[in-house]
Structure formats: structure tokens, C-alpha cells
Amino acid sequence: MPKPILTINNLTKTYGKNVIFQHLDLTVNEGDTIVIIGPSGTGKSTLLRCVNLLTRPNEGQIWLDDLEITAKGTDEDQVRQHIGMVFQNFLLFNHLTALGNVKLGLTKVKHMSDEAATDKAMKELSRVGLADRADHYPGQLSGGQQQRVAIARALAMDPRVMLFDEPTSALDPELIGEVLEVMRQLAMDGMTMLVVTHEMGFAREVADRIVFMEKGYIVEEGSPDEMFNHPKFDRTREFLWKITELYGKKEKEAK
Amino acid sequence: MKKYLLLAVALLLVGAILVGCASEPTSVLDKIQKAKKVSVGTSADYPPYEYVDDAGNKTGFDIELMEEIAKRMGLELEWVDMPFDSLVAAVASGKLDMSISCFNYDEERDKTVDFSEAYYTTEDAFVVTSAFSGTIVAPEDVAGFKVGVQSGTVQDDWLTTNLVTPGLLPEANLSRYERVDQAALDLANGRIDVLMGDYVPIQALVAQNPDLQVVYHGELSTGPINIVLPDGDTALKAEVDRIIKELQAEGFIDQLAVKYFSE
Amino acid sequence: MDFGQFISYIASGTVYTVGVTLIALPSGLLIGTILALFYVYGGKVAARVMNLYSTIFRGIPPLVLLFILFFAVSKGINLSAFLAGSLSLGMVSSAYQMEIVRGALLSVSGDQLMAARAIGLSRLQAIRYVVLPQAVRLAIPPWSNEAAIIIKDSSLVYALGVPEILRRAQLIGASSQKYLLAYLSAAIIYFLLVSLTTRLLNRLENKLSIPSHP
């Protein structure tokens, strides 16, 4: 019986008069890789930010394992240690080296000794293939390298679930591959992942489930095979066809 | 909301100032006798009354006089040099025990400080450059020209009261300076036509600069010069006055005048 | 007249100029940084109060503040001319430095803060370990400017009787009638002080700069 790590129940988020999304239900089981797709501006990023409590939903609850993290009085900092997040713009700490970036959470939040933190940080940097760049600053790294460091930074905290907010959208086409490869390997290693992306190849190959969101609702969700080959809704088929067209074009460009 | 906060802060500042002003009458004489030290203010930019020699030591008529007075009071003298404008306020607020700086008696000043007996008498003088083409026979004649004066002095008051206020000298033609030497510079470069000041320092200026000449001197605003003392301390005044009389009787002050005022 | 004595009399005021600066500048930095943190991270009410502080101390001529502190307020607590002058300048500087630090904090993108929170750092830790180190580097150029201003503004304490460079130039100029020489000497000394300071701060800026594009 698969164990749910993340349970999202009846989640609603409004901003003034605008409804970003409403009555969302989503369950993420241990080891799942869930890919969320949909047109821009449908609240996908906002959903991720609700999950790690960077934003508060207006209605609904979110559970991480057995803890309702949306409950009043939750220690948000504590919760965020267990949820890793990778941003579209990498957001590495500019004044620290790659190693420094990965170590910061270990020394200041987990209170590890400098030695232990360095060890662990180097392990994670090796995992993403950047051990030899440990002493480089973000300004000295390519976009793809920066994003991989960002992934290492999030992984170092040993999170229960990893959130990816359009991780390759800000990258040059040639650099996308190295990041997706890291993510694919992570999924293979059994990490629970919630990914917002336009990368259909990744979705098709790596996702356990694909969730299609539009206008603040989940239109449909299912396995890649279901979604691509037998979608229940026309809108789903329309969107996937359009974006695969686009993806096809992108593939040609990258070659 | 911002206005009320500003008002509150302004009130706080005023309150602090008022607290500062509400002083209990303390005897300065007692204080300096206990400490065996007196702090005296002067504005050492006024030769030959008070100035600095080449080595930077204070010297001058007022300086030597005050040092003798302190000696006879059995006190160590601590000089504090300050711009002339600040001296009266400093004595009034207790920052200085007294001040000597060629002060003439002035009613306005008397409201916040006291004066000793006169220790010397001076005159006013008007000085021009050789380029001056006008005629000055009576002091009021300067109203027709551009006049310079040191601000806050009795000469400043005299010019303001007697020439500016009645409308004889336009305000724009009266230039006030922080120090006499600044005024002298402007006189030399023609920004002002006439400089009014104390006769003695003006004589010193003329001695150094042959282009200058005194066109009039006499007692207009000046006259006796006094030491400025804290308000209401009658015991201190009595003591200082006593010593001044002593020094006058001994001829000490006349000797100083010869030393510093003759050409 | 001994030229050497002349110059050294004026130059001996340097110790007061440096003294005033060494009190005013660091105290301005300490207070300014604390206030800036409140301004940026303290919420609406704090921001309003800080704004008021800034408006007041940048709106009063420093000389006026010096007089208020020396003649009026310090009758209760006896402050020497040197201290009254230094502290007044420190207060004025703190308002300008608050604006400098505030600008630097705001220039560090808010996303940096968000990324720091995302790995579990508390708000305070995020400000301390991520935002402030980056803000410091941004603040150095305008701070170098403020340092130069304080060195020059230190001359204002002459009005309270502190025998610093400018006052000494005035005195010896008046007694020797060599005004131009006196003021030129003073100007050169100030120029040297400011140049030295600016150069040191440039070195600091280079040392702290974050490498990019190998």
C-alpha cells in the first residue's frame, strides 16, 4: 500500500479578487514523481509555494506525512527543512561558493560541524556532478551548473519531498539536458518529487503521474500513457498536442 | 500621523532645552576655588588682544591680563578658544567660567551674563584702502558706502541701530563677518569700502598693511572693555573687580598696553 | 616666520579631526544599520518611525544640532565640546547611513531571502547570513562617500571650541595675516585625509568583491 508523503486537500488560494486556484486535491505517494503541466499563470508555481509554506493558502490543508503543516502554530522553518525547493532562477547565494551554498543549511540549520557539513556537501555536489566546481562562485558557473548546485543545496537537507518550479525554463537549450539528467537520476533513486515543467520528454519518461492544471483547476491527471494516448478531456489532448509540437521544435533546435 | 510624530519630537527637543536652561544657581566662584582651576573662553583670532604666536601659543593683551588675574586668584587657567559668537552663550550655559575677548558692555548680553568692571577703554575706528575716493568726516558719513563689520560686536549693533534701522544705510550694503580678518580681506579686494571695528586691532592691521588708513576714530559703540562673567555670581564679580583695581593701581595694565598697543 | 612651525601648528589639529571622525562614523554606522534593518524588515509602523528619524536628522543643519546638544541639552549631562560635537555628527551621519544600508538591503533581491527560507533558515538567519553579506558589498561605495563627508564636516566642531584643523588655520591666519597659506595648508591636509580613506575603502571593496566570469 503506497504511503502518501504529501496530501493536499481542498486547497484554495486567492489574491484580492483573483482566484489563483480553488478546491485542489492532490496526493503524492512515497517515491512518486508527479509532473504538473499547464498553461502559464494557472497557479502551478503558487501551488508549490503553498506546499513549502512560502505562501499561505486561503482554504484547505496540506499534510506532510502525518503533520498538518497548514495548521496554526506550525514551525515553518522546521517544516521547510524537510521540503526541498528548486527555483526557476536558481537563486544561489551570490556571495558563497558552490560548496558554501550547499553547506549553509547544514551548518546554520542542522548545526553540523564544519567538517561534517563539508563532507556531506561534497557528497551532494558529487551526486550532481560538480565536485570539481566546489570553490567556484555562482558568477563563475553556467546556468546549468548553477541549477545543479541549487539541486545539491536542496538535497543536502535530506528532504522528504523535492519541489521543482520550472527548473529548466531559464536555461539555454544546450544546458537543459544536464539538469534533467540529474532529476531523472534522482527519480530513479526513489526521491519523491513534485515537478512543474514544460519538458514533455521528461514528463513522458520519468513521471509516475502527470497532472494537467488550467484556470485554477486540475483538469485531468493520470499516467503518462493515459495522458498522452488516451486523455479523457479534449482540452487535455489539445494542450498536449500543442506543447508536444513546441517540444518537437525545441528538440530540433537543440540538435 | 507624521505631523503628530514631528510635533512630539519637537516638543521633546524643546523640553530637553528647557531642562538645560533651568539651572539652579550655583556659585561659580566656589566651584573654581574647589577645583583650583578656571576655564576661560576667548576667540584667539583678534590681534593684539588675543591671538596665537608662531609656536601656536595664545598671546595678547587680554591673554596676559587674564593669566595674571588667575595667578592672583590662585587658580590654574585653562584656555578655551571658540568663535567669538559662541563665547557669551558658553558662559551663560556654564560651559565656561568666564570669558575675556575684548567685550564691550552690551544690554543684550547683560541679560544672560554679567560684566566685570572695565579694565581698559577702547575706541572705534573706520578704515579704508588708499583707493577710497569718498569723504568721511563724521561717522554717519559711512552710510553712503559699503560697510563691513564683525558680526555680534558692538560695532555691528551701532551700525544697525544708528544707520540701518533709520534707513540711512541699506541692509544690503552692510556685510557681516565672523572674523575681522575676513572683513579685512574683503576690504582689500574692494567688496566693501569701509571697515568698522575696534581701534586697536585695526591699528595692528594698518601696521601690517600700508595700503590701509584710518579715516576716523573715537568712542562710538566702544569705550570700556570688560570680562564676561556668569550671571548673578556677585562673589565672583567682586573678586575679579578687586584684582582689576589692584592691577590698574600698580600700573600693570598700562605696561601691557605699551607692550601690545604701541607701533 | 618659521614655515615648519606654521604648518605643524595647523597639522596638529588633525588628531581632533580624526578623533571626531572615528567617533561619528562608526557610531553612525552601528545605529544606521540597526535602524535600516528595522526600516526594511520591521513592518509598517517601524518604517514610519525610521522615516521620521531620517527626515529630522537629514533636515536639520548639523551645526544647529551641535549647538543644541552642546549648549542646551548637555547642561543636565555635562558633555565636552569634543564629545558633543562627535555625537551630534554621529547622529546626523546615522540618518544618512541608514538610508545607505536601506538602499543596499533593498538592492539584494527579495528572492535571495526566499531561497534562504526554502532551506529552513529563519528570517533572522536569512537576513544575517544571506542578505547582509551581499548588502555590505553594495554599501561600500556610498559609504566611502559618507566617510569623506564626515571627515570634512568634522570641521564644524570648531564652533564649539574644539581646536581642530580649520580653527587652527583661522587663528594662525589671523595672527600672521597669511590667510591664503593657512587655508591652503588646511585644504591640503583634508585632501590627504580624504584620499587616504577613499583609497583604503577601495582596497576593501576589491578584497570583498565576489568573483565572477573567470
pLDDT tens per residue across all 255 residues of chain A: 678 999 999 999 998 888 899 999 999 999 999 999 998 877 899 999 999 999 999 999 999 998 999 998 899 999 999 999 999 999 999 999 999 999 999 999 999 999 999 999 999 999 999 999 999 999 999 999 999 999 999 999 999 999 999 999 999 999 999 999 999 999 999 999 999 998 999 999 999 999 999 888 899 999 999 998 888 998 888 888 887 776 555 555 555
Identify residues of C whose CB sits under 8 angstroms from chain B CBs. 1-2, 5-6, 9, 12, 48-49, 51-52, 55-56, 68, 70-76, 81, 158-161, 163, 167-168, 170-177, 179
Q: Would you tell me which residues 10-69 of chain C have a C-beta closer than 8 angstroms to some C-beta of chain A?
A: none
The verdict on C174 touching A (C-beta cutoff 8 Å) is: no
Instruction: Please report where in the chains the cell 525610521 appears, as a residue.
Output: C50
Say which of A80, A91, A92 has its CB closest to residue C120: A80
The model's pLDDT over C133-148, given as tens digits with 9 standing for 90+, comes to: 999 999 999 999 999 9
C-alpha–C-alpha distance, residues B156 and B177, integer Å: 10
Is B263 a residue whose pLDDT tops 50? no
Identify residues of A whose CB sits under 8 angstroms from chain C CBs. 52, 54, 76-78, 80-81, 84-85, 87, 89, 91-95, 104-105, 108-109, 136-140, 153-154, 157
Determine whether the interchain pair B13/C68 forms a contact, defined as Cβ–Cβ distance below 8 Å.
yes
Query: End-to-end CA distance of chain B, in Å?
Result: 67
Residue B7 makes CB contacts below 8 A (sequence gap 6+) with none
The verdict on B185 touching C (C-beta cutoff 8 Å) is: yes
Determine whether the interchain pair C119/A105 forms a contact, defined as Cβ–Cβ distance below 8 Å.
yes
pTM, to two decimals: 0.79
| pLDDT mean across residues, chain B | 87
Determine whether the interchain pair A104/C129 forms a contact, defined as Cβ–Cβ distance below 8 Å.
yes
Are the CB atoms for B102 and B43 separated by under 8 Å?
no
- C-interface mutation test, from A94, A111, A112, most C Cβ less than 10 A away: A94
Q: How do B37-42 and B76-81 pair as beta strands?
A: parallel
Mean pLDDT computed over C42-70: 91
DSSP state of B152: T
Q: What is the ipTM of this complex?
A: 0.89
Determine whether the interchain pair B21/C72 forms a contact, defined as Cβ–Cβ distance below 8 Å.
yes
The model's pLDDT over B158-198, given as tens digits with 9 standing for 90+, comes to: 999 889 888 889 999 999 998 888 898 899 888 999 999 98
Q: Is B144 exposed, middle or buried (0-12, 13-18, 19+ CB in 10 A)?
A: middle
Are the CB atoms for C197 and C144 separated by under 8 Å?
yes
Q: Note the pLDDT of residue B222.
A: 76
- Which residue(s) pair with A218 in the sheet? A213
C-alpha–C-alpha distance, residues B219 and B158, integer Å: 11
CB atoms within 10 A of CB B234: 11
Between chain B and chain C, how many beta carbons pairs sit less than 8 Å apart? 100
Determine whether the interchain pair A139/C121 forms a contact, defined as Cβ–Cβ distance below 8 Å.
no
The secondary element (H helix, E strand) that includes residue C82 is helix C81-107
The model's pLDDT over B72-106, given as tens digits with 9 standing for 90+, comes to: 999 999 999 999 988 998 999 888 999 999 998 88
- Cα dihedral sign for B198, B201, B206, B212? negative
Give chain B's count of helices (H) and strands (E). 10, 13
C-alpha–C-alpha distance, residues C64 and B253, integer Å: 39
Determine whether the interchain pair A140/C214 forms a contact, defined as Cβ–Cβ distance below 8 Å.
yes
The secondary element (H helix, E strand) that includes residue A211 is strand A209-214
Smallest CA–CA separation between C198 and chain A, in Å?
24
- Alpha carbons within 13 A on the beta-carbon side of B86: 27
Between chain A and chain C, how many beta carbons pairs sit less than 8 Å apart? 75
Are the CB atoms for A201 and A247 separated by under 8 Å?
yes
| C172 interaction partners in chain B (CB closer than 8 Å) | 52, 56
